[in-house]
Amino acid sequence: MSDDHTVVGRVVAITDAIAAASGPLTLAALTRSTGIPKPTVRRIANDLVRHHVLEATRAGYRLGPRLSYYGFRAGRAGDLSVVVPPYLRDLSLRAHGEVSWCGEFFRGELDFRQLVFGHEYRADIKSQTWPSRALLGPSFALTAGGRLQAAFDGALSEQLAQTGCRPLTRYSATAPRELRLLLEQARATGLAYEREQVTPGWSCVAAVILDAEERPLGAIGLTGRSSVAAQRSTQRALIAAADAIGRELRSAPRAARVIE
């Protein structure tokens, strides 16, 4: 988000930058990321710390407890953060502890909302940066979630099918013709699978979540180091979960009773 020189815009830009980072951001990194003058970033960030929107640590700024509170209060029937967790737990158990996740398509990104994983993945989750369009550029389409997002975006899909993308590993399918076929398959089936195209030794499979007008809301997926993601039974379970989540979101009332 560029600097729009308004107070609210700068608050949002600083919060967005910290939310998108894989760990705390230093003042210098936050200044580079937002393009806002360093003294202004320091003043706004410290004000947000005083109001518990951010936390200041030795490593830099991170999101604070007030945002967690807002997130909890925003949770409602018909919201992914409320509907998805039971499905993620079931999928992770079915896949023997692999990382199950759900994300929402928002402003050109797959915004990861929920993760469930076995103990053996704890260190990986803490140390790795989750792939994003901002980080990978066109190569985000090599990820299972990114491929689904591109597949249901006609203009983006056509662009990738014409230009291709840079490889991330030696297994990456980057030629325009290869990408076109993969995107067409993802659009037709609602499922995307990649093996070691993004990270050596890792594979991922994802299914799209659609709304009542068949528009993509987000994706649910499994990521890990085993071959579980390649199994037909896992992929069928993932498609079934995505369909069930879509139905539950569509059938939920528009407003839910507030839990006090």
- Domain range summary for the chain, segments of one domain joined by +: 7-68, 75-251
* 221, 207 Cβ separation under 8 angstroms: yes
Note the pLDDT of residue 44: 95
Residue 48 in tokens: 């947000």
Q: Dihedral, CA atoms, 115, 116, 117, 122, nearest 10 degrees?
A: 50
Phi, psi of 55 (to 5 degrees): -125, 140
Q: Tell whether pTM > 0.85.
A: no
Which of 128, 203, 199 lies closest to 167 in space, CA to CA? Answer: 199
With 50 as the cut, is the pLDDT of residue 260 above it? no
With 50 as the cut, is the pLDDT of residue 123 above it? yes
The mean pLDDT value of the chain amounts to 87
Which of 246, 236, 252, 258 lies closest to 94 in space, CA to CA? Answer: 236
Q: What is the pLDDT of residues 66-101, one digit of tens each?
A: 887 676 555 454 577 778 999 999 999 989 899 999
CATH topology match: 7-68 vs 75-251: no
Domain 75-251 has CATH 3.30.450.40: yes
Domain 7-68 has CATH 1.10.10.10: yes
Question: How far is Cα of residue 214 from the mean position of the Cα atoms in its chain?
Answer: 20
Give 257's pLDDT tier (boundaries 50, 70, 90): very low
Which of 117, 148, 157 lies closest to 217 in space, CA to CA? Answer: 148
**Angstrom distance (rounded) from CA 200 to CA 190:** 25
Handedness of CA 129, 222, 202, 162 (dihedral sign): negative
Give 54's pLDDT tier (boundaries 50, 70, 90): very high
